[in-house]
Structure 1
């Protein structure tokens, strides 16, 4: 591959660029954007040459590109060690299309709406235990909520002892340290001493997940169940979607691990950033509390708040496609083998797309017509995150329960910086907040009114 085929980029050794990506991902890439413009190349160990794109027109070309050429599965292959070979994130072309079709029904709007009451109950129960008058990092609390949502609505676990075991076994698998992540890049390392603990943790998580799969297959009431696992077990066959073939246990395991990996910590991080921003903006916090207390009529503002936090603090900074053939893009003929990477964080921070982009302003999202190449926290094209609707609904519901349940102190402290954690960007101090007081529990009449408004909103929507 000739360097002349690629856009310019930093002349640093690969090892140095790799270290900068691991420690200072957004800052390094943003500095490259300022230095080299809207298209540039970085060189990263285990990934190779990555061509970043910040122009929405170029990003649109990638998202609309031939999936046989723009291969997202290959670009995501570093996740194979934990997600498994049949994860929808790692498939390309027809196999990806068929698997995605099978997995779509649980994430349709109506299916997600059926889970909203359970999401609210889980969030309210957790918030009721938050300390009062003491500063604490809210990120672990949000992780507890989103994990419980995954366990109850996606995996559908109900037996108390198995739920407790899953709560203990799953977080260590998805919250890996740097040493463990090396084994994901090279699964052969799992046979060696420093990584044998990682292998044991994955094995324990697999044991519990396979037990849930077996229970679901044997459940005489499978047809009535609404959890995602039950819907995936029912998928395939003559009446199913996709390629007409039901998923094997291994394939189901890989999809559940994918949904856990993609939908647990990412959503928890988005929620943590929302509270980190709100306690530093008293006006927006007051408006959000008002919207939360209004019930369904306040959803427009809370949805706008969710969209704005995912813009100003994207959980994932970019997405990738590995080229299987040369491509004319952004004024260059890019060779096969490179990864092209639409820069989510670069576009979201663009003055051209969002005036005063560093300002947290949910009002800008109310009534906004968002382009899939200028607001792209969930990626785009045929690879857009399956759970995008689920995540946005969950974030809105959890924020509503938080703001209804407690009064938050505001702070003049500096905002928390973005810290690289695996493939996500988290608040470096865990999004520390302080609860001033608990709010009175709503009356039964108020709850019934809120439920009625929610039903009317769904029917009219």
Structure 2
């Protein structure tokens, strides 16, 4: 064990490393992994000192470590300017544990299964608007769909005017430029002219969310509602401000991440015709109630999240000197389990660059070898919801849509967008035809059993 210190890493200035992370996040980190080994240090201006790890044993140390020492909320603190200071994403210790219990209730498997019909209906409506015969970016369509799912099932929004306004303002908060995100990390900047638009968008979203909270509190049928907002209000312990912060968190962390995963799914499938054909057969089998169809669609989703993780890493800020990967790291260092590094490990996944959903069929996925949703006490509380939504949306797309395909080896590259990795051209596809199909068989709650065990996007560790 090293007595000092920090593992090796690039000797570049902090500003240069920050620029490389901003522009080339996965490539820069993977390059450091090749040069410096399984544990290395980056020094990033505006963030601090990061120690990357990708050995499953070291990941277990981090994820199973004392949460009073390994602070994930502090690692996410740069998001507080948007999500709010009481968001389950940015708090730690006892506050996080209690708040997580309150927010988790609507995301248990039976609650998620009850939302499956709404997900399928909204997917069918969205697909009907796709252009035929012209190449287009599917990512914006997926973003609108997953936002609608969150608004209807999690927030329970039903007022048509307010829904229209939420549909308009939320994308503005999710497409901030690198310049605008400075005002999220440093909210004081929102008072200055270049960033006042960000402040205005947040204020508009707040107005709408507080109106939803007021409506729900006044609802005489509150006890009969299943949306997350109603469940949280029934707990009776959160203020309006705390409710607002959780809603904003669910909107931001649960919508664009799932949309990105679905976009990558179609990007990968249309470049692998044999896998696409098999997935289409699975979609029809799933709609008929065959569990084997569900299993293969889930395998497609898991393989996409392996080969194209929406978030490349998660972080824990050390509150005391701690031994990790043979180094005694000082307090204040952020330890970063490298999701993308683990998923590209040829020892765990032979030929890791090959898109192969079959490797996920019947596989037992460990929490330190497949971790698109993070891990430990901060694993994504919406993992079950996200995976179920991916399966249902993919089923409805593949039953209805006939895609043009290509065997071109090069697909879309990963582009950094805030804290997620998106297809750089928006996952462009071409639809040959859209077919009318009947309604799928209702989803049995038991069909999502076991998915509670899967770790963390939306990537971002909660």
- Superposed, 1:235-254 pairs within 5 Å as 235-236=235-236, 246-254=237-245
Corresponding residue for 1:399? 394
How much has 1:170 moved relative to structure 2? 1.3
Corresponding residue for 2:320? 325
- Superposed, 1:9-408 pairs within 5 Å as 9-236=9-236, 246-294=237-285, 295=287, 296-297=289-290, 298-408=293-403
Indicate how the Cα distance of structure 1 residues 3 and 211 shifts in structure 2: closer, same or farther if over 3 A, else same. farther
How much has 1:3 moved relative to structure 2? 11
Residue from 415, 418, 443 that aligns with 1:419? 415
Retained in 2: the 8 A contact 1:128–1:405? Answer: no
How much has 1:226 moved relative to structure 2? 1.1
Q: Distance between the aligned counterparts of 2:448 and 2:341, measured in 1? A: 37
**Deviations along 1:171-229, whole A, 9 cap, x unmatched?**
11122111110011111101101011110110000000000000000000001111111
**Deviations along 1:55-76, whole A, 9 cap, x unmatched?**
0100011000001100001111
How much has 1:441 moved relative to structure 2? 2.2
Indicate how the Cα distance of structure 1 residues 27 and 3 shifts in structure 2: closer, same or farther if over 3 A, else same. farther
Retained in 1: the 8 A contact 2:321–2:329? Answer: yes
How much has 1:460 moved relative to structure 2? 8.9
Retained in 1: the 8 A contact 2:388–2:448? Answer: no
Corresponding residue for 2:456? none
Retained in 2: the 8 A contact 1:7–1:51? Answer: yes
**Deviations along 1:359-393, whole A, 9 cap, x unmatched?**
11111111111100000000000000010000000
Q: Distance between the aligned counterparts of 1:112 and 1:51, measured in 2? A: 36
Q: Distance between the aligned counterparts of 1:405 and 1:219, measured in 2? A: 38
**Deviations along 1:97-132, whole A, 9 cap, x unmatched?**
000011111000000001000000001100011111
Residue 440 (str. 1) matches residue 427 (str. 2): no
Retained in 2: the 8 A contact 1:25–1:420? Answer: yes
Q: Distance between the aligned counterparts of 2:327 and 2:178, measured in 1? A: 35
How much has 1:4 moved relative to structure 2? 4.8
**Deviations along 1:271-294, whole A, 9 cap, x unmatched?**
000000000001100010001011
For normalisation by structure 2, the TM-score amounts to 0.94
SS at match of 2:41: strand
SS at match of 2:89: helix
Q: Which runs of 5+ in 2 are unaligned?
A: 451-462
Q: Distance between the aligned counterparts of 1:228 and 1:383, measured in 2? A: 19
Corresponding residue for 2:453? none
Q: Distance between the aligned counterparts of 1:11 and 1:38, measured in 2? A: 17
How much has 1:459 moved relative to structure 2? 9.6
Q: Distance between the aligned counterparts of 2:372 and 2:22, measured in 1? A: 20
Corresponding residue for 1:240? none
Retained in 2: the 8 A contact 1:46–1:185? Answer: no
Indicate how the Cα distance of structure 1 residues 73 and 457 shifts in structure 2: closer, same or farther if over 3 A, else same. closer
Retained in 1: the 8 A contact 2:4–2:329? Answer: no
Cα RMSD between the aligned structures? 1.5
SS at match of 1:196: helix
